[in-house]
Amino acid sequence: MHQSFPINADESPPIILDLIYKLKVKDVMTTELLTVGPESSLRDVQHLMRAEQITGVPVVEGERLLGIVSVDDIIRSLDEGYIGETVTAHMSRNLIVLEDDMPLSFAISYIDKYQFGRFPVLNREKKLVGIVTSRDIIVALLVELDHEVVKLEEQVPHEAGHPTAEESTRDFNISSYDFENAGKASTELRKLLIEQGLDRKLIRRAAVAAYELEMNIVVHSHGGRLAFSLSDDTVEITATDRGPGIEDVEQALTEGYSTATEWVRSLGFGAGMGLPNARRVCDTFNIESSKRGTSVRAVIHLPKGDTET
Amino acid sequence: MTVTDLGDSLGYECMQDHYEDGNVSTGYTSDLLSDVMANAPDESVLITIQAHKNTVAVATLAGARAVIICNSRPVPEDMVDAAKSEGIAIFRTDKNQFTVSTEVYEKLKESS
């Protein structure tokens, strides 16, 4: 059952429209092509498809495209017993092709219109230069959308606090189970506080709170954010996540209570010290949790006029 | 005692030598990173078998100068890279945490 492509030139939002007109077919196509010559047999193509896990192979002579053999052609040849014959006798010859300079919108509308799995791409000289599948288009769009989202997020004003001249605010996206980047946000906070010349003990307290809250998002949540803001008299750290929530907050605040998995423990985490540690080092510590997510606000007061000597 | 002096006197394998050669005043031995986070003193050397990138993050946040990996645990490349960018030294030995702790203790005591 063919499903139409969920993005199109009629109804999609402006950012998507920009993308599908801005991107050219040559930006998304696969250029490393596996092809066969006209003398090859359908059996050769079948072997190539199996070895390379592809579903369509162009038949070329020099750089000129003669036709395409698809998985359907191979299945039919097996059914009807001519798998040993040459490709030229049975390949699809009436090809719908794309040109490499066409906008991506063309490729999308072709996919919807013709419902083929792949389209050969020719350049102006009619030479075969690539092949485009739905997957190529989806991957390219995801990469571009990712860039766009990053740009948009950078434009969103930070919500926390009322800015003063002295205040700094930072906001980090924390992904579930991303041990690769775990600790980055807290390390940034620490650097910022060192730059501000704050007392080392105070920096340590803020680092402990930030790190434990950051690790909790990594280990226990579906993902969330860690934000901190620095004003003249406080360091404020807020951690919010998208669930699944803490079943018993009182228990979670008890030292030694842990719901971490075995492999998280094997990394040295999940000893049931996170939240208790974080609460211990803060002057104000509020936590709210429901199935929709957990939100923690941790505040450390700065002594008046405190800078490291 | 500086990181370099300590490293030289212990004679362990140095896995990461792009570090800030600051003063080491004490050690902390633990494989529980939350415990390290909460209790490791500033200017310490962390003695552990937790050979992964997150150990570097914890060492940095705790203000540790160096990490000693015990029992010849393999040290992954991304851990070395992280330590390089944070300026934290990594040493490795086949000795266990108990033995390393006593050796570090002796070296620090001698130098004080």
Q: Does residue A303 have a pLDDT over 50?
A: yes
Mean pLDDT (whole number) for A14-21:
81
Output phi, psi for B55, to 5 deg.
-60, -35
Helices A42-52 + A71-80 axis angle, to 10: 130
In sequence order, what are the beta bridge partners of A301? A234
Answer whether B33 sits within 8 Å of A269, measured CB to CB: yes
pLDDT tens-digit series, residues A93-106: 888 899 998 888 88
d(CA B25, CA A166): 35
Mean pLDDT (whole number) for B82-103:
96
DSSP A6: S
**Per-residue pLDDT, A157:** 62
Coarse DSSP helix, strand, coil percentages of chain B, rounded to the nearest 5 percent: 45, 20, 35
Does the CB of A265 have a partner CB in chain B at under 8 Å?
A: no
**Per-residue pLDDT, A17:** 80
**Per-residue pLDDT, A180:** 82
**Per-residue pLDDT, A305:** 59
**Per-residue pLDDT, A2:** 56
State the smallest CA–CA distance between residue B59 and chain A in angstroms.
Answer: 10
Q: Considering only alpha carbons, which residue of chain A is nearest residue B52? A: A267
Please state, rounded to an integer, the average pLDDT across all residues of chain B: 95
Strands B13-16 and B66-69: unpaired
Q: Would you say B112 and B26 are in contact if contact means Cβ atoms under 8 Å apart?
A: no
d(CA A39, CA A35): 12
d(CA A300, CA A231): 11
- Shortest CB distance from B54 goes to which of A207, A267, A273? A267
Q: Is the peptide bond before A163 cis (omega within 30 degrees of 0)?
A: no
Mean pLDDT (whole number) for B20-42:
93
Mean pLDDT (whole number) for A56-76:
92
**Per-residue pLDDT, A161:** 43
Q: Does residue A1 have a pLDDT over 70?
A: no
Chain B neighbors of A207, CB-CB under 8 A: 37, 61-62
Answer whether B31 sits within 8 Å of A268, measured CB to CB: yes
d(CA A188, CA A196): 12
For residue A42, count other CB atoms closer than 10 A to its CB: 23
Torsion of CA A124, A129, A131, A137, to 10 degrees: -70
CA separation, residue B7 to residues A219, B1, B10, B26, B84 (Å): 34, 10, 5, 14, 16
Encoding tokens for residue A246? 């803490």
Mean pLDDT (whole number) for B18-38:
94
Q: Considering only alpha carbons, which residue of chain B is nearest residue A203? A: B61
**Per-residue pLDDT, A146:** 87
How confident is residue A130, by pLDDT bands cut at 50, 70 and 90?
Answer: very high
Q: Does residue A173 have a pLDDT over 70?
A: yes
Give how far the C-alpha of residue A145 lies from the chain's centroid of Cα atoms, to the nearest Å.
10
d(CA A256, CA A254): 6
C-alpha closest to that of B68 among B86, B51, B87, B54: B51
Q: Which uninterrupted H or E stretch holds A231? A: none
Reported ipTM exceeds the 0.95 cut: no
pLDDT tens-digit series, residues B38-80: 899 999 999 999 999 999 999 999 999 999 999 999 999 999 9
d(CA A99, CA A96): 10
Mean pLDDT (whole number) for A126-147:
90
d(CA A19, CA A141): 8
Mean pLDDT (whole number) for A147-165:
64
Does the CB of B41 have a partner CB in chain A at under 8 Å?
A: no
In sequence order, what are the beta bridge partners of B26? B44
Please state, rounded to an integer, the average pLDDT across all residues of chain A: 86
Helices A184-195 + B53-62 axis angle, to 10: 20
pTM value is 0.58
State the smallest CA–CA distance between residue A275 and chain B in angstroms.
Answer: 10
C-alpha closest to that of B59 among B32, B40, B84, B80: B40
pLDDT tens-digit series, residues B97-106: 999 999 999 9
How confident is residue A61, by pLDDT bands cut at 50, 70 and 90?
Answer: very high
Q: Which of A108-122, A153-167, A279-293, B79-93 has the weakest average pLDDT?
A: A153-167
Q: Does residue A226 have a pLDDT over 60?
A: yes
Q: Does residue A301 have a pLDDT over 60?
A: yes
pLDDT tens-digit series, residues A196-216: 889 888 999 999 999 999 999
Q: Would you say B22 and B5 are in contact if contact means Cβ atoms under 8 Å apart?
A: no
**Per-residue pLDDT, A217:** 93
In sequence order, what are the beta bridge partners of A41? A86
d(CA B43, CA B62): 9
How confident is residue A160, by pLDDT bands cut at 50, 70 and 90?
Answer: very low
In sequence order, what are the beta bridge partners of A36? A59
**Per-residue pLDDT, A163:** 42
d(CA A78, CA A76): 5
Answer whether A179 sits within 8 Å of B53, measured CB to CB: yes
